[in-house]
Structure 1
Amino acid sequence: MKTKKRVKAEPESIGPWQKTKYANLVRNVSSGKYSVRFRNNGKLIWRGLKTDVLSIAAQRLPDKIKEVKDEQALLASGNDPRITFEAAAKIYLERVKASPDYKPKTKEYHEQRLDALFESWPELKAKAL
């Protein structure tokens, strides 16, 4: 008894995503753009590669995975390079005070609102954005 061989015309699709011959690399069927899909510490991570050319996507794949893993490791270590809410509020207040568009009373109001926010929510100052 002979069995017919199946010939795949295209790689397998997962909804709007199409598998490629490279591990962790998928292509969006509608846009043609490639993305990285992999697991790091049990979490499924998706990142776009911003290209629709397979060879370029294959070159960017290991760099993107390394970049994300390094970022995740840095966040897990506790040395968070992101700006804190307090620093962002300082920058915001400087811009408000320097802006000629606001009246002096409005500038004062913005400062009061931030002071009240920090008074009612002290741990917000240290939060990373």
Structure 2
Amino acid sequence: MAKDAHKMAETAADVEAFLARVEPAERQADGRDVMAMMARLSGEPPALWGPSIIGFGRYHYRYDSGREGESCRIGFSPRKAELVFYLAGLEEADFVALGKHRRGKGCLYIKRLAGVDRAVLEALIVKSIAHMDATWPR
């Protein structure tokens, strides 16, 4: 999530205006649903991080190398091809019952919310928040 800290800075941009430009329409609707879900689960308001990540909460990280910065605690990006979730602290077994998805390092990719079990997705988000709270206390 914090690979390019300069690209991940929280901005003052209007999240609603950003979502209004998302295409296709289904991705925009899914983005609004995810935004509401993450806000409810995190207790944090949405903010735009960089040009296209909707993040919730913030944390300051410092690696053993000395590199440090700030990033959102959890977040997602409603990209044209799929929704990208930025979550941490999850294990292989956590994804078994999710439904159609793919994963990369620190990212979860979902083409359509309708294609996954939303209760499982919520559980993933809650587990990621707990991991962030344990690793980087507020």
- Answer yes or no: same fold by TM over 0.5: no
| Structure number with higher helix proportion | 1
The one of the two structures with greater contact order (alpha-carbon pairs below 8 A, sep at least 6) is 2
TM-score, normalised by the number of residues in structure 2: 0.28
TM-score, normalised by the number of residues in structure 1: 0.29
Q: Work out which of the two has the higher radius of gyration on C-alpha atoms and give 1 or 2.
A: 1
| Structure number with higher strand proportion | 2
